[in-house]
Amino acid sequence: MELLLQKGKPVMLVRNAGVGKTILVWDKSSKFKEEFMVAKVPFNYYTTSAMLQRVLEKHLEKKAGQNFATPGTKKLIYFVDDLNMPGVDAYGTVQPQTLIRQHLDYSQWYVHQSFVYETVLFLNMLLINLDVCIL
């Protein structure tokens, strides 16, 4: 897990409930304090992509043009807990997971108010899911 995060690769932990995934992540993240910022993003059934995007953008600042990154020189790890919780919409998609996939694939997301894409730099995801990988 540490090597993947240091190389900028996303990590997903998948296992049954109650086996200690969240505790493991918080234990490991306390060792990253000098190199990384860690932000917890809990999911629930009512989480939407717009809500998730607002939570993710709280930890970022504008750098140049359409580029956003963390303040200072630290990299940011979003710790997404309960990835499987958001509900499925009328089109059969899970909006928050789609936003995460878009960031992992393209390092950017769409801003609805201005109709442009924001590029997000120096960001990684640590995802926790139960039993089945949904992405």
DSSP assignments along 92-129, one per residue: S--HHHHHHHHHHHHSEEEETTTTEEEEE-SEEEEEEE
The pLDDT score that the predictor gives to residue 76 is: 84
CATH code of the domain covering residue 120: 3.40.50.300
What whole-number distance in Å separates Cα of residue 102 and Cα of residue 53? 12
Residue 73 lies in a domain: yes
The pLDDT score that the predictor gives to residue 23 is: 85
Task: For the full predicted model, state whether its pTM sits above 0.85.
Answer: no
In the block, tokens 């995060």 appear at: 5
The pLDDT score that the predictor gives to residue 75 is: 83
The pLDDT score that the predictor gives to residue 135 is: 44
Q: Which amino acid is residue 110, in one-letter code?
A: Y
Residue 135 lies in a domain: no
The pLDDT score that the predictor gives to residue 86 is: 92
Intervals of the chain under pLDDT 50: 132-135
- Give the burial string for 108-121 (b: 16+ CB within 10 Å, else e): bbeeeeeeeebbbe
The pLDDT score that the predictor gives to residue 133 is: 44
User: For residue 75, what are the domain limits?
Assistant: 2-130
How many separate domains does the chain show? Answer: 1
Residue 114 lies in a domain: yes
